[in-house]
Amino acid sequence: MPRRRLPEWFLLLLPAIIVIAAVVLIPLIFSLYSSFTPYKLTRPSTLWKWIGTYNYEKILTDAKFWAAFGRTVLFLTIALNLEMLLGLGIALMVNKVTWGQRTLRTILMFPMMFSPILVGFQFKFIFNDNIGLVNNALQSMGFNVALPWLVDGKLAMFSIAFAEIWMSTSVFAILILAGLFAMPRDPLEAAKVDGCTPWQSFRHITLPFLMPFIYIAMTIRSLDVARAYDIVQIMTGGGPARRTELLWTLMSRTGYVDARMGLANAMGYVSILLSIFFTVYFFRKLSAARAEIGMGS
Amino acid sequence: MDRNQTHRNRRRALKVLHFSALFLTMAVICIPGLWIVLNSFRPTVEIMAKPPVWTPSFTLDHYRAMFGGAGEGGVPVFSYFRNSLIVSVVSTFIAILIGMSGGYAFARYRFKGKSGYFVGLMLFRAVPGVALSLPLFIVFAKVGIIDTHLGLILVYVAMNVPFTIWLTDGFFRQIPKELHEAAEIDGCTRWQAFWKVEFPVAKSGVASAAIFAFLTSWNEFALASQLTRSVGSKTMPVGLLDFTAEFTINWGGMCALAVLMIIPALILTFLVQKHLIAGLTFGGVKG
């Protein structure tokens, strides 16, 4: 009896599955297990003590955790929406330009090449209260102030959001611009003939066509929302007095500084669920938007 | 006549508004980067000067110190650059091979639970680096590949494979099936048909996937900062931290290293700019 061979598609997918299982899945299983133990890096024997859902109960009743969680969700919501709106605005502006469009598009790609950690340092430098560009410029213009951009809680949050938006808006702008280029001209001209106002034709023709492009950008972004960690870690490290603490900085502090791996891994799972929620949400929006304009898969 | 005039004025005002908004946006995008480049050429005294000095002066001190290896902290920039380059290039190459075969499987074969597999793979990409770095650190320490190139390469391959699959899947789907069927009728094997017919057509998708994979590995920090310890494996994003001390930061030196970090990414991105946009939109919209 001949042995049944594995189907070809499975053989083709096998390397991908193996590598992801080895590097992502196994550590995740390990961390799921350790989140049920009081594991501390300094005391390896604690790995074998089962304490059930104690860590989860602990973080669920921890006010600091919920503050960080709420701040993370709020931060992501505001940042993603602003990035989308600004990206849309920039794309529409660049689309209207009649010359030098290619140069503008190249400039737009500029922030995409920056490492998130580099963006963090860059804005830490620019928002520095003593020698930073922003304060220097303000003082040279005659305002006799030294705003504590990274020291005051609210200003620090603003600075971080600014850095994040600076880094990621171009993803939206470029994809939406590509959508504008791909757009058929006839419906727009027909609308003009029929007497639509510019706003009406934007709202009912341009925007629905752009939606899938917006959701692709959202999906790509949601795949690594957590890279904001690099920025926050560098710019404020979660400070001052935890006012800019996001889920990710709280987790790395618990894991590496306090060496409480079990607890940190429990937080890690919450953050993984959060990321997965964002990704799945935008994937569904993406396929819905695709179906609407008849580009279904 | 009068109405024409107001109309023309309004039009002109809109044009001015459009132009100034565009100019402002581009300034906001460019200035932070330019500021970094500019400061890498300024002496430290001038960077720290109070009140600020706006007239630029020019010095290569920071670059000299950086490449000299000694001087300001003696950060071993060459080693970091080499580590970054080895890790990024090797991991990109492997991720593209693995991802391409996966993307081909999704584009060309029908099987049960296809979309389930697909979303499942993408979800692994969504796992935050910080959350992964905690357990990965322990597992790698047990296996003994912490602080090695191999460890980082493995991680980056796993990180980049899902996105590569997504992009290449979209591209292979664009290629009509008849193409490789014709090649097979003419006597090619499936393998030959892929490399001689389908691969050249999908090249620009593969190029854009490669750029994304390269940039991800080149710029990654959260995982690299935990999985590398010594000069032998630290990458440049981790190396940036060498310029920070307890209370002070060597801004000039850091800017110089930052410039060194951006240049390869800049060159690569410009080379394949066109493919990049095409890759993203085709992969996503029509995928």
| Chain B residues touching residue A40 (CB < 8 angstroms) | none
DSSP annotation of A3 reads P
User: Any chain B CB within 8 A of the CB of A60?
Assistant: no
What is the end-to-end Cα distance of chain A in Å, rounded?
40
Give the pLDDT confidence score for residue B122 in this predicted structure: 83
Binary contact (A9, B109; C-beta < 8 A): yes
Pick from A10-14, A55-59, A72-76, A239-243: least confident: A239-243
Binary contact (B48, A131; C-beta < 8 A): yes
CA–CA distances in Å: residue A183 to residues A206, B63, B91, B284: 8, 47, 36, 16
| Chain A residues touching residue B158 (CB < 8 angstroms) | 19-20, 22-24
| Chain A residues touching residue B126 (CB < 8 angstroms) | 222-224, 272, 275-276, 278-279
Closest alpha carbon within chain A to B151: A23
B45 and B20 in one domain?
yes
Q: How far apart are CA B40 and CA B52, in angstroms?
A: 16
User: Any chain B CB within 8 A of the CB of A168?
Assistant: no
> Mean of the pLDDT values across residues B152-164?
92
Give the pLDDT confidence score for residue B283 in this predicted structure: 56
Write a three-state SS string for B216-270: HHHHCCCCHHHHCCCCCCCCHHHHHHHHECCCCECHHHHHHHHHHHHHHHHHHHH
Give the pLDDT band of residue A297 (cuts 50, 70, 90): very low
pLDDT in tens, A29-79: 988 888 888 888 777 777 788 888 888 888 888 888 999 999 999 998 999
B123/chain A closest Cα distance in angstroms: 6
Binary contact (A261, B262; C-beta < 8 A): no
pLDDT in tens, B202-253: 887 888 888 888 988 999 988 898 888 888 888 988 888 888 876 778 888 8
Binary contact (B284, A248; C-beta < 8 A): no
Q: How far apart are CA B239 and CA B234, in angstroms?
A: 7
**Single pTM value for the model:** 0.87
Give the pLDDT confidence score for residue B42 in this predicted structure: 85
B132 and B20 in one domain?
no
Q: By CB neighbour count within 10 A (0-12 exposed, 13-18 middle, 19+ buried), where does A194 fall?
A: exposed
Give the pLDDT band of residue B38 (cuts 50, 70, 90): confident
Q: Token pair for residue A90?
A: 């920039």
Q: By CB neighbour count within 10 A (0-12 exposed, 13-18 middle, 19+ buried), where does A252 fall?
A: buried
| Chain B residues touching residue A170 (CB < 8 angstroms) | 29
Give the pLDDT band of residue A2 (cuts 50, 70, 90): low
A187/chain B closest Cα distance in angstroms: 20
Q: How far apart are CA A185 and CA A4, in angstroms?
A: 54
| Residue A28 included in any domain | no
B88 and B45 in one domain?
no
DSSP annotation of A112 reads G
> Mean of the pLDDT values across residues A219-248?
83
Binary contact (B221, A230; C-beta < 8 A): yes
**DSSP assignments along B70-102, one per residue:** STTTT--HHHHHHHHHHHHHHHHHHHHHHHHHH
Based on the structure, what is the number of domains in chain B? Answer: 2
**DSSP assignments along A154-190, one per residue:** HHHHHHHHHHHHHHHHHHHHHHHHHHHHHS-SHHHHH
Give the pLDDT confidence score for residue A78 in this predicted structure: 92
| Residue A38 included in any domain | no
Residue A287 three-state SS: helix
Reported residue count of chain A is 297
Give the pLDDT confidence score for residue B282 in this predicted structure: 61
> Mean of the pLDDT values across residues A277-289?
83
| Residue A161 included in any domain | yes
Q: Which residues contact A203 (CB under 8 A, 6 or more apart)?
A: none
| Boundary-marking domain end, from B22, B48, B66 | B66
| Residue A207 included in any domain | yes
Domain containing residue B35: 2-66
Q: How far apart are CA A48 and CA A58, in angstroms?
A: 19
Q: Which residues contact A227 (CB under 8 A, 6 or more apart)?
A: A116, B129, B222
Binary contact (A223, B126; C-beta < 8 A): yes
**Which of A8, A28, A104 is the closest to B26 by Cβ?**
A104
> Mean of the pLDDT values across residues A152-167?
90
Contact between residue A150 and residue B13 where contact means Cβ atoms under 8 Å apart = no
DSSP annotation of A145 reads -
B2/chain A closest Cα distance in angstroms: 23
Interior/surface letters A36-71, b for 16+ CB within 10 angstroms, e for the rest: bbbbbbeeeebbeeeeeebbbeebeeeeebeebbeb
| Residue A53 included in any domain | no
B146 and B76 in one domain?
yes
Q: How far apart are CA A15 and CA A25, in angstroms?
A: 14
DSSP annotation of A255 reads I
User: Any chain B CB within 8 A of the CB of A291?
Assistant: no
Give the pLDDT band of residue A164 (cuts 50, 70, 90): very high
* Cα of A145 vs its chain's centroid, Å: 33
B203 and B112 in one domain?
yes
Interface of A with B in 265-284 (CB under 8 A): 265, 268-269, 271-272, 275-276, 278-280, 283
Give the pLDDT band of residue B71 (cuts 50, 70, 90): very low
Nearest partner of B33 among A221, A230, A123, judged by Cα: A123
CA–CA distances in Å: residue A221 to residues B41, B47, B285: 34, 35, 15
B235 and B93 in one domain?
yes
Based on the structure, what is the number of domains in chain A? Answer: 1
Q: By CB neighbour count within 10 A (0-12 exposed, 13-18 middle, 19+ buried), where does B4 fall?
A: exposed
Closest alpha carbon within chain B to A290: B285
Domain containing residue A81: 64-292
Q: How far apart are CA A208 and CA A215, in angstroms?
A: 11
pLDDT in tens, A102-159: 888 888 888 888 888 989 989 988 888 888 888 888 888 877 777 888 888 888 999 9
| Chain A residues touching residue B123 (CB < 8 angstroms) | 276, 279-280
Q: What share of chain A is helix, strand, coil (3-state, %, to 5)?
A: 75, 0, 25
CATH assignment of the domain containing A173: 1.10.3720.10
Binary contact (B130, A248; C-beta < 8 A): yes
| Chain B residues touching residue A225 (CB < 8 angstroms) | 128
B263 and B242 in one domain?
yes
Contact between residue B138 and residue A33 where contact means Cβ atoms under 8 Å apart = no
B275 pLDDT more than 80: no
Q: How far apart are CA B158 and CA A59, in angstroms?
A: 30
Interior/surface letters B149-182, b for 16+ CB within 10 angstroms, e for the rest: bebbbbbbbbbbbbbbbbbbbbbbbebeeeebee
Give the pLDDT band of residue A296 (cuts 50, 70, 90): very low
B97 and B48 in one domain?
no
Which residue type occupies B22? L
Our CA dihedral for B110, B111, B114, B118, rounded to 10 degrees, sits at -80
Neighbours of B23 (CB within 10 A): 10
Closest alpha carbon within chain B to A98: B19
B108 and B7 in one domain?
no
Binary contact (B102, A222; C-beta < 8 A): no
B175 and B125 in one domain?
yes
Percent with pLDDT over 70 in chain A: 97
Average pLDDT, chain A: 85
A88 pLDDT more than 90: yes
Nearest partner of B232 among B110, B146, B156, B141, judged by Cα: B146
Binary contact (A125, B39; C-beta < 8 A): yes
B122 and B36 in one domain?
no
B154 and B89 in one domain?
yes
| Chain B residues touching residue A265 (CB < 8 angstroms) | 134-135
**Which of A27, A93, A227 is the closest to B132 by Cβ?**
A27
